[in-house]
Amino acid sequence: MDRATITVAAGRPAARPEAPLNEPVEFASALTAGGRVEYTRHDARNSRAFEQVLGALEGGDAVLFSSGMAAITAVLEVLRPASVTRPTVLYSGTRAVLDQRQLPQGPDLIWVESPSNPDLRVTDIAAVSTGSGMTVVDNTFATPLGQRPLQLGADVVVHSVSKYLSGHSDLILGAVVCADPELAEQFRTYRELGGAIPGPMEAWLALRGVRTLDVRLRRAVASAEVLAPQLAQRDDVQVIWPGLPDHPDHALALAQMDLITPILGLIPTGGEPRAQRICESTRLWRHATSLGGVESTLERRRRHPAESEQVDPALIRLSVGIEALDDLWDDLQAALDAP
Ligand SMILES: *Cc1c(COP(=O)(O)O)cnc(C)c1O
Over the stretch 213-262, which tens digit does the pLDDT of each residue have?
A: 999 999 999 999 999 999 999 999 999 999 999 999 999 999 999 999 99
Q: Do residues 139 and 157 make contact, with C-beta atoms less than 8 angstroms apart?
A: yes
Tell me the mean pLDDT in the region 31-43: 96
User: Residue 71 CA: which ligand 1 atom is closest?
Assistant: 9
Is the CB of 117 inside a 6 Å radius of any atom of ligand 1? yes
Over the stretch 52-96, which tens digit does the pLDDT of each residue have?
A: 999 999 999 999 999 999 999 999 999 999 999 999 899 999 999
Is the CB of 162 inside a 6 Å radius of any atom of ligand 1? yes
Is the CB of 138 inside a 6 Å radius of any atom of ligand 1? yes
Over the stretch 130-169, which tens digit does the pLDDT of each residue have?
A: 989 999 999 999 999 999 999 999 999 999 999 999 999 9
Q: Return the CATH class of domain 213-337.
A: alpha beta
Tell me the mean pLDDT in the region 181-206: 97
Closest CA to 108 of 142, 75, 140: 75
User: Residue 116 CA: which ligand 1 atom is closest?
Assistant: 13
The Å distance, Cα 64 to ligand 1 centre, comes to 14
Is the CB of 202 inside a 6 Å radius of any atom of ligand 1? no
Residues of the chain with CATH 3.40.640.10: 3-210
Q: Do residues 317 and 118 make contact, with C-beta atoms less than 8 angstroms apart?
A: yes
| Torsions phi, psi for 164 (to 5 deg) | -60, -40
Q: How far apart are CA 187 and CA 56, in angstroms?
A: 17
Q: pTM of the entire structure?
A: 0.97
Task: Give 25-84 as a DSSP string.
Answer: P---SB--TTSS-SBTTT--HHHHHHHHHHHHHHTSEEEEESSHHHHHHHHHHHH--S-E
Predicted confidence at residue 140, as pLDDT, reads: 98
339 confidence band (pLDDT: 50, 70, 90): confident
Is the CB of 113 inside a 6 Å radius of any atom of ligand 1? yes
Predicted confidence at residue 31, as pLDDT, reads: 97
Residue 274 exposure: Cα atoms within 13 Å on the Cβ side: 14
Over the stretch 290-301, which tens digit does the pLDDT of each residue have?
A: 999 999 999 999
Is the CB of 67 inside a 6 Å radius of any atom of ligand 1? yes
CA dist list (Å): 32 to 6, 14, 39, 40, 251 = 32, 21, 9, 11, 55
Residues of the chain with CATH 3.90.1150.10: 213-337
For residue 325, with 0-12 CB atoms within 10 Å meaning exposed, 13-18 middle and 19 or more buried, which class applies? Answer: middle
Of 95, 139, 162, best ligand 1 pocket probe by most atoms within 8 Å of the beta carbon: 162
Eight-class DSSP state of 118: T
Instruction: List 174's β-bridge partners, or say none.
Output: 65, 160
Of 69, 92, 308, best ligand 1 pocket probe by most atoms within 8 Å of the beta carbon: 69
Residue type, 292: G
The CATH label, of 3.40.50.720, 2.40.160.40, 3.40.640.10, 2.40.160.150, for the domain at 3-210 is 3.40.640.10
The Å distance, Cα 160 to ligand 1 centre, comes to 4
Over the stretch 115-133, which tens digit does the pLDDT of each residue have?
A: 999 999 999 999 999 989 9
Over the stretch 306-323, which tens digit does the pLDDT of each residue have?
A: 899 999 999 999 999 999
